[in-house]
Structure 1
């Protein structure tokens, strides 16, 4: 990339950053009415720690019923215990979101034994920070399996009922890396660009189909010190 291209990229990044801060300031001064989620059945992937655990606690405080998925049994139990202390009803499933059949199997159990999921939060994610040639094939595959394909499989599992009822909410947790690239994260950025694209395409498709009762949200965090990566500020 030449000097002109670098300046253009920097200007785009700064412009987007300033817009985000301005939007946040407006929302702080003129907050929108919060979505009522009491009694809703919320399924959250990647709930065993970090952002997933914090999100689960927030839903618990708002009296949602929770279905928590994670591959980490210990972390999942800790999150469930914290949410139960807040008064929430919690169901846990140990699910490896890199495996499509595990997702579909767990989804069937949820629908059969618990009920219809009305809010789906696709939060599970993995990252390997290394230059492209040093990143192993299986690490690249894992990032795409969890960071984007799992979003598609969970949505395919729970969207039909939402479509029938024209009611629901699908949340895609992507990343700022889905908008801006950085060195040593080629595969990760690619998977997060795909997640952002999935959200946009799904939103457009639901609109085209007239399913205005199904809402979509895409979250793109920057750096959050959750233990997901070491030294997130760097």
Structure 2
């Protein structure tokens, strides 16, 4: 009987100790988050880091490349458009890139991703910052969208993330050093009228990036960081013709502003970045409000009609 009591007491003490440690760590993490809300976290140095950016031939990808060039990073540029990507390469060199290499790669093709990844490893070395930025949008209602276009959306917007992680994450794990950046969308957080396939692919990208963050954390890979970026529409031409009826709450974002925020998030190792900040409130309200109330708010801010004027990226002649 005495042995049973001692065993129960030992179990109780162990449970109490684990609870106190948990509460202490939780309190510390909350206080740390509050402190960094008012005092910016120290920015890490990415000089000499090898940064791979998909979709670097234009838009955000090109602007990100130029910013990392100014920070002294080694750049690996991937795009399906060889000419545009070579132009980004030239601009990055002029911006002061330590070293830059451009590769033609169709990220929708798994075999091509693996093939070009092997080239990068042989010719440049280990990638330490991986930015999955490449994306496409069909802009068609679900029943009007051909199957092949929906499949292409998934291949570029989501599946490419799987293949690039498979290609470059093992070395990051071996080195316990790396940063995985997912450029998703506000359409990866809430459904949007007229963007069913795009939303699905971007939701998938967010879910994958989150789960890989949890997986690396559970495996105690503290040197591997994750940043998940979800912006509203950006003036890059990709969503040409789209409008907002609430520019104060949901403005069409300037690319330079978005890139500046992304760079800051990466350098401060921030997990989530939503733009504009109204999206943080949207996510909270989505969790607590009745569905009908949420739909009324969406209607009020014009969320149902943002795709009405969509024309998409104009092809250069």
Q: TM-score, normalised by structure 1?
A: 0.86
Q: Is 1:225–1:232's contact at 8 Å kept on the other side of the alignment?
A: no
CA RMSD, 1 decimal: 1.4
**2:137 paired with 1:134:** no
| 192 and 210 in structure 1: CA distance in 2 versus 1, 3 angstrom threshold | same
Q: Secondary structure at the match of 1:231?
A: coil
Shift of 1:32: 2.4
Distance in 2 between the 1:110 and 1:129 partners?
33
Ranges in structure 2 where 5+ consecutive residues have no aligned partner:
1-32, 244-305, 307-317
1:207 corresponds, among 217, 237, 241, to 217
> Map of 1:55-74 to 2, 5 A cutoff?
55-74=64-83
Q: Secondary structure at the match of 2:142?
A: coil
Q: Is 1:178–1:194's contact at 8 Å kept on the other side of the alignment?
A: yes
Task: Count matched residues.
Answer: 209
Q: Secondary structure at the match of 1:195?
A: helix
Shift of 1:182: 0.9
Shift of 1:232: 3.6
Shift of 1:81: 1.1
Q: Is 1:176–1:222's contact at 8 Å kept on the other side of the alignment?
A: yes
Distance in 2 between the 1:228 and 1:196 partners?
20
1:50 corresponds, among 41, 56, 59, to 59
Q: Is 1:47–1:79's contact at 8 Å kept on the other side of the alignment?
A: yes
Shift of 1:133: 0.5
Distance in 2 between the 1:179 and 1:133 partners?
22
Q: Secondary structure at the match of 2:150?
A: helix
Distance in 1 between the 2:55 and 2:44 partners?
22
Q: Secondary structure at the match of 1:171?
A: strand
Match of 1:30 in 2: 39
Q: Rg bigger for which structure? A: 2
Match of 1:173 in 2: 183
Distance in 2 between the 1:231 and 1:51 partners?
18
Distance in 1 between the 2:242 and 2:183 partners?
17
